[in-house]
Chain A
């Protein structure tokens, strides 16, 4: 039992039982995933009326669906009658949702449309529509939901920092729009979900966890995130609200480094960018590339990929990823992004497979951490997040900034986490 989460989450260290205590997980499902904003999906996943995908918000099963009025809605994937799941595939297209148990049908807007043998139905149909998150908002096609409805507007949750991060990704598309239609790959990891916002935004581990990748392939990571402060000047940024970034822009040696090509290889794309943004802005966008950032609590803007973190239990997480696809580019360009995605993320990838083992090794080490929570000696199981705390600075927009290898990003996550977990 944790009386006050401030006791186990300090600015520079947190207690390992936060990864392994089932009670903490239950609190998170309520205080973070029910009462806060959570990324659900992208509207391009449901382009046509009736298109739907199934998702979890915390442990709550939901359907993200486009209605006949073209509005994207998020509905409970649980029949309002006796609770049967209405959709059990990953995605599909339906005119209505019909429960297989007693044949109740619901419209794409969640309203109850039909009840078989209606003479014995003694309620108003309006009382028994599908439950839904109280608040759903989109930002540049990214769909977020807040189940409880008391998290305030999405723009406050994202803040200027979160919005800028999403903008920087979408602005790399020559139409300003991205598509997420390449399919999601699920990576099942026996670790707590919080290892993922941590490791996805850890600029200190690449030399070690990914040493086999670094020795085998050439990539821009050599210039941007390897070797510590002696060899690069990339930055770790706390954008506020728990959103954080490994800002590799200072390390890029040329335009399009982040794509691993020169301009001649993607002429059509570059021309389209110039047509949309003008030469000066296009040049800057093509130099800066996409962000490597995490939007609290579950969305990873993984450069040219997106990942979402799905907690399934205190010891079990799925890290889903897909490749970002741009509108207004040729197929060859988008296919390049697919191949890069397969190399970087997922269970067979050259990069994240090594993070997965590392997370599982952490989880193993925290199995008994709750027992030692009140002790100070052996078994106390604190983790240290102090790296670079003294050398971080605050810029004019209030962002905390350190060297990319500093734990600025991890502290950003935990600061927001502590704030939400302390709310009773």
Chain B
């Protein structure tokens, strides 16, 4: 996180729009928590970018390594791999629940149906594949949302972990 740049201010949108955005975030979180891969994948656009940077999301992911840097095709591969049922790093799928809060709408173009939304989260995961420890994943997510045929979809999900400068345990689930 760079403090040299001013932090963005939230924008005000119509209450019904805010409710629509919140409902999307909660649905996306629940589907990820429950490892409902196909339903989760139905929420993404054809130009989806799923990015878990190392450190803050203040670099061009093309030029440096990230934990996860999936374009739409690679994300499809990720989900195909999970759906084989043979992905040992998620066999069984981790029991998970995440809390989302501090939802701020940073950019809104209601007419065009485009929004940038930031939120904080804490994800609790049991690493049920081997160690059975409880892993806690705090961080901030930025969603880029777009209305497609009347429904919100995400075209970008950036996950900035609080711990992202540190070595990470397996993150084979959907963060």
Contacts from A to B (Cβ < 8 Å): 90, 182-190, 209, 211-213, 215-217, 318, 320, 322-323, 331, 335, 338-339, 341-343, 346-348, 350, 353-354, 356-358, 360-361, 363-364
Contacts and interface: CB of A to CB of B under 8 A. Distances in A.
Nearest to A365: B130
A182 B172 CA distance: 22
B64 A212 contact: no
B69 A354 contact: no
Given A347-B171, A364-B131, A217 B65 contact: no
B92 to A, nearest CB: 11
Contacts of A338: 62-65
Q: A342, A361, A364 — which one has the most chain B CB atoms within 10 A of its CB?
A: A342
Contacts of A213: 81
26 contacts: A90-B165, A182-B65, A185-B54, A185-B66, A186-B166, A187-B167, A187-B170, A188-B167, A190-B169, A212-B85, A215-B81, A216-B80, A216-B84, A217-B77, A338-B63, A341-B65, A342-B68, A343-B74, A347-B171, A348-B52, A348-B175, A350-B77, A353-B171, A354-B172, A360-B129, A364-B131
Interface in B68-124: 68-69, 74, 77-78, 80-82, 84-89
Nearest to A360: B130
Given A320-B167, A323-B65, A357 B84 contact: no
B65 A347 contact: no
A183 B88 contact: no
B161 to A, nearest CB: 11
Contact of B68 (A216, A348, A360): A348
A361 B130 CA distance: 5
Contacts of B88: 209, 212, 354, 357-358
Given A211-B86, A339-B74, A360-B130, 16 more contacts: A182-B64, A183-B64, A185-B67, A187-B170, A188-B167, A212-B86, A217-B77, A320-B167, A343-B74, A346-B67, A347-B170, A348-B67, A348-B171, A350-B78, A353-B172, A363-B130
Contacts of A90: 165
B77 A216 contact: yes
A353 B169 CA distance: 9
Interface size class of B (residues with CB under 8 A): 35 or more
Contacts of A186: 166-168
Contact of A353 (B69, B77, B166, B170): B170
A322 B65 CA distance: 7
Interface of B: 52, 54, 62-69, 74, 77-78, 80-82, 84-89, 129-131, 133, 165-172, 175
A135 to B, nearest CB: 28
B156 to A, nearest CB: 17
A212 B81 CA distance: 5
Q: Which 4 A-B residue pairs are closest in the complex by CB-CB distance?
A: A186-B167, A360-B130, A353-B89, A188-B167
Contacts of B67: 185, 342, 346-348
Contacts of B170: 187, 347-348, 353, 356-357
A364 B129 CA distance: 11
Contacts of A363: 130
A357 B89 contact: yes
A303 to B, nearest CB: 15
A211 B23 CA distance: 37
Contacts of A361: 129-130
